[in-house]
Structure 1
């Protein structure tokens, strides 16, 4: 699966969960530092968006492919991202004919303790 160019800027790489669903992993590096020792909020938001779009592309590939365009994005920051690897995964809550709703969560050490969450809506143009 080809990743978005922004994923490369973040240094994010694609991993797979046990069930084959995509998980994005972003290492901590100088390009994502906010205040010393913490991730910058924009980097976290970007990782969430990349995870959501990757999950959508994964689902659409199973149906013949397509393109997505963001309609709206809401990010909730729950705790500070520290100086370690950060992972994010998207879950499609609705995949309609023209619109998809996706939730994404970012975590560090423990997936059950997210550092941020997003709700996103996308317009879909199927191939």
Structure 2
């Protein structure tokens, strides 16, 4: 466990390679962001679908990890299923994502995630994540 705020906790190497960072926090849940760059460009002028998916997945795990830390839990997280829906092309702008825990059990969690650019009410992509929370072997 760590007492550091989410904004000071390191993200995965994959997330850092895309330029994903913690932009802030809302109600104890981190809001992640990534700037548009050639690293995440797919077709000319648009976000690559894989980069969008990576942002959504990272935001989902960040939301779950923040909640688990609040509860004093530190299980190993293992994806069961992640479903991404692309709603519109990401433009050459900063993109945000935030996860919301819809169910948190003892062994499983369900998280929904939204990514948006200018208008939070018009997401460019969403994801539903089903995650197994396994006890860590000591």
- The structure with the largest alpha-carbon Rg is 2
Equivalent in the alignment of 2:47: 39
Q: CA RMSD in A?
A: 1.2
**Normalising to structure 1: TM-score of the pair?**
0.95
Give structure 1 stretches of 5+ with no counterpart.
Answer: none
Equivalent in the alignment of 2:127: 118
Distance 1:22 1:90 in 2: 8
Equivalent in the alignment of 1:96: 105
Alignment of 1:38-77 (within 5 A): 38-64=46-72, 65-77=74-86
Structure 1 counterpart SS, 2:102: strand
Shift of 1:126: 4.6
**Normalising to structure 2: TM-score of the pair?**
0.87
| Number of corresponding residues | 127
Distance 2:133 2:70 in 1: 14
Structure 1 counterpart SS, 2:14: helix
